[in-house]
Structures are given as structure tokens and as C-alpha cells.
Structure 1
Amino acid sequence: MKDPFKPLDYSKLTTYSIKGRHSKVDIKDFSTPWEKGNRFSAFLDTLPSILAGNDLCCVINAISCAAKNKKQVCFAMGGHVIKTGMSPIIIDLMKKNIFTLLSMNGSGIIHDLEIAMVGRTSEDVAQSLGNGSFGMAKETSNLLNQAIKNAKNKSIGLGKAVGDMILKENLTYKHLSLTAEGCALNIPVTVHVAIGTDIIHMHPDFDAAACGAASHYDFKLFASQITDLEKGVFINAGSAVIMPEVFLKAVTLVRNLGSTLDDFTTINLDFIRHYRPMTNVVNRPTLGKGKGYSLVGHHEILIPLIAAGVIESL
């Protein structure tokens, strides 16, 4: 039986010369091989000017330009950044007057305190959850809940209260504490808590009202720094929900109050792309003159890489 369907005849297909075609990839943008003995700055020059290779260099350039021009470079983070050993890198950038604001979610102060206190953090949740001992470290709870009470008594933010306490207690590894170094360097450190998410909220001496008030104070302090973000940089590292939401509210708040906030750079760093960081950090706030970047990778590689690039360029 004859096939009733006819194959497409494309013998008269229209073609063009590749020589006149616009192409998105050009050999002038290719990477170059590494030469033994070169400096780190030369390594950046070897990266391809394509996709993330180009974005990494743009991110380094944006942070460097903001620092050179004494503009805000705000670093927001989740607790995982501390757990990947990044505190010395962040503190160094604070000391070099590159980072002008440090913000974190509630887990940040837990890991920050434990590092300052005993030089170790991050319990084995799978091992301790079954017997109900997860989150029951008494020293962590006692000190942080005392810091919350101090914040209430002194009418200060939670970040400063924790940093002040670490310095007052003269904890062994206070030089590795982000909150303590923030206090010592007079750089604002803000903490943004969601009640019920952190281990100290399970302890009977936790004062939710005082914690909420201290965290709200920090939100207002955070927003005051975002007021000056024009021509600056906002970085979100490893916070999938809290810090992107806080940032978005601060942006609309300061714009509502009349601050100019049109031309700035946002950067999201994480090992996967999440919805809120992409929409609330990278895309929505930068509509217009701004520019948003998303670099996917591990904190323990991306953050030192970017820091080294910035330091070399300065």
C-alpha cells in the first residue's frame, strides 16, 4: 500500500554565510593556559569572558569599584558560610574597609558564638535528633539568651549585643567572631531572626519578645545602611529565604522614604539557584540601571576566590 504521507522537501532551503553571522562565542573571549609561576591576578586574566567566567570578573570589579569609591559593600549570609570556614576571609575584608555591613540570619550567631567559645561548631543533627539532645548545648543557649536580655536592657540590636558579650567574656577565639570583630571595627552587624528556627528558641530562658525587639532594631539598622547602597554592592551568600526577604523589604522601604536607589549591583552566591535569592536579590531590585549576578558554587571556593580578586585589584 502506498504511503499517503509525503516527506518534507527541503531541497530549496535558504542558507547564509557563517562569516557574516553574529555569534555569541568568539575565540577572543577564550581562556588562556596557565603559566607556572604567574600571580593570582594573572589567573583571572586567563578566565574566558563567557558566562560565569565573565560574571566572576564583573563581580570582582563591582566590589573593587565600590570599595575604591567608599561605597557600601553589604555582605548578607546564612550560617553555612561560617560552617565552611569563611570567617577569617570575611573579617579580613572588614578590616580592609571593603565590607561595610554584615548581616546574617539567626543561625549565624549560634555558629559565630560557638566558634568564639570553643573553636568548633555544627553538631551532628542526625546523631542527636533521635534521642532529643539536638540543640541542647547549655553554654550556647545561656550566653546567647543572656545577649538577648542585654540587647533589651541596653536598647541595642542583637548583632551588637552578641559581639559585645563575646568581647566582655573574652572568649578564646573571639578574633574569629564576626560579631565581635564588627564591634571592634565599628562595622554594623545585624541579625534577622525567624522565631522557632534556631536551637536557642527551645530553651526555657529564651525571651521571644526581647529577641524580636532586638532583631527589629537590626532591621531598621540594616535599612539605614541600604539607604546608601547607590553605586554600591549587596551580596547574599547562602541565605535562601530570610536575607533575600529582608533585603527586598529594606529596598522598598528606603525608596518609599525618598532615597535614590537605582544604580547598584547585587550578587547571589550559593551552590544551587533558589527562587527568592534570584527574584528578591538578583532580578527585582536591580530593574533599571542596576545589575544582578548569580554565581553557583561552593562558599569555600567562591568567597576566597572573589576576595583574592578584590584584594589584588585594590
Structure 2
Amino acid sequence: MRQKYIAISLLACVLTACSHNDENIVVNDGPVVAQITAGINLPTRASGTTWDAGDAIGVSTVSTTATTGGTHYLNMKYVTTAADGNFTHFGGEASGIFFQDASETVTFSAYYPFDEDSQERTTAGTINDVTTSDQSAQKNFDFMFATGATASKNSPTVKFNNTDNGTTDARFKHMMTRLVLNITTDTGAGFTADQVASGTYTLSGIKHSGTFNTEDGTAEATGNATDNWEITDYITYTNNIGTCSLILYPQTGASLTFSATIDGQTYTGTLTPAFAASTSYSYDISIQKTGLVISSGTIQDWTNGGGDKIEIN
């Protein structure tokens, strides 16, 4: 009788072990949560260095290899809390993206900054209520877009980078255009550095309204160009060189008038950047009492759009 009880006990242990193993198999066959990491196609952001804590992106699936069903998500909000490029769903892991099919490979796209007026799980739309007239708020319109990142249930980390997606560079790219003005003078120009630093500066010919398509990353200007847009407050001076870095909507046919008013006298010059998307244009402006000298500079960030050399007397 004792041997019978022992045999029954051993059988119960075996059945319990099988039950636990079965439970583990069910868990492994269930949905797997996506992990998201993101890099930027530049060493620096125009509005700051790398990601900032609290930055939010909108993530969507572009395609899946699954023949039926599969993973489909639209405009999911992910946030980097530590500014390290690792993003988690703002509502917690249980509310985020899960892979359903073990055999599928899913391609993702994402945009920045997340449109707070939009809703998750709806088609990403167009942001059309942001202007560039207040350059102190560049973070609100430094629009970026990424696509081509792939992941699967067996490899669930969605990597928006340039090393883990075959030949595809899936890093975030700036979709606006950038204009950099470097303002200088010298002892033979008739002005002191302090006089230049206390001057008033404007640009005419820029369109500040525009749209950003969060589905394909296209940014473009709309509306009319403005006159006498003052940029004085956006100039920072280091070693007697004033630098003004502006983020603007891509626009065609722009011919800009740069004006400097110093000691009651106004000096003007013309700039004609192409203002292509993802491109930066730099101009060195030397202020002299005989006029302005505007020449092109070298760009390290974004795509180098160059510039022209213009002398005004």
C-alpha cells in the first residue's frame, strides 16, 4: 500500500511539471511586446543635443509580411523618459505595440514631435497649426521622420538606426530647412563689436506657416511671406561673432532681404537659399559702414546647402 501511494505521488509530480511546462509554452506563443530605440541622423539636434527627456514620437506600422492578420498599429505614442533614445509607450507596456505572428517581419515608421492633438490607433495626419515665427520654440517645429526599421516576434526591438535594417538608414532625419547667419565686424569696418551686438536685425521674404505630413515626413511652407521679421533676439554672441540659427519650412523661390540697423543707419543685403528639406544653409555676414559683405560658410550638421558670396556697397 505504501508503494502505491508513492507511485501516485510521483505521478502527481510529473503531471504538475508537465502543467508548468505547458504554461511556459503558452506564454512563449503569446503576443510579444515591442521595444523601441531611436537615433538621429546627426551628432546634434538643431534645438538641443540628442533626445531630451520627455520627447515623444508617433510610431506606426508600414507593412508586415504576414499573409493574414499580423501586427498593425497607427500613431502610437512612445516617450523617452531618460533622454537615452530608448522609448516606451506612454500608457505603459501593456498599452503598447505587440507582435502577434511568429512568422512575420514588421516595418515601422515614426515622426517627431508627437502630435498631441491626434489620437492613437488612427491614421497619422497632417500638422498644420505650427508656425516658425517664434524661434525660441524650435523644439515644437524641428520636425523629424524615420522609416524602414524592422522587427519581429523573435527580434522585437524596433531600431530606428543605420546599422540593423540592412542597407536602410532608418535614423530620424530633419525634415525642415535650416538657415545659419554668422554676423561679424572688424576694426577696419567702422563699427565696434559692441555696436554690432546692440544693432537690430530683420529678415524679409520668409513664409512661417506650413504643414508637416506625419505619414510620410513631408514638410512644406504655405501662405504668404512676411516682411521685416525681427531676429535680433535669436542671435547669440561668442567672441564678437553673432550666430543666428533658424529652423524654417522648406520653400521655393525665396529671396530674403537681410537688414541691419546700427546707430540709426540701415544696411541691407540679399540671400537666396534654395530652402530644400533636410538642408542647412550658412552665410557669413560682415557688417561695414560701406555696406554688407555676405559669403557662404561651411556646414557640419544637416545636409550642406552652401550659399553665395554677395558684396553690397
Please give the range of the TM-score, normalised by the shorter of the 2 chains: under 0.3
The structure whose residues are more often strand, as a share, is 2
Of the two structures, which has the highest relative contact order with CA contacts closer than 8 Å and spacing of 6 or more?
1
Q: Normalized against structure 1, the TM-score is what? A: 0.23
Identify, as 1 or 2, the structure richer in helix: 1
Q: Which has the larger radius of gyration?
A: 2
Could you tell me the TM-score, scaled by structure 2's length? Answer: 0.23
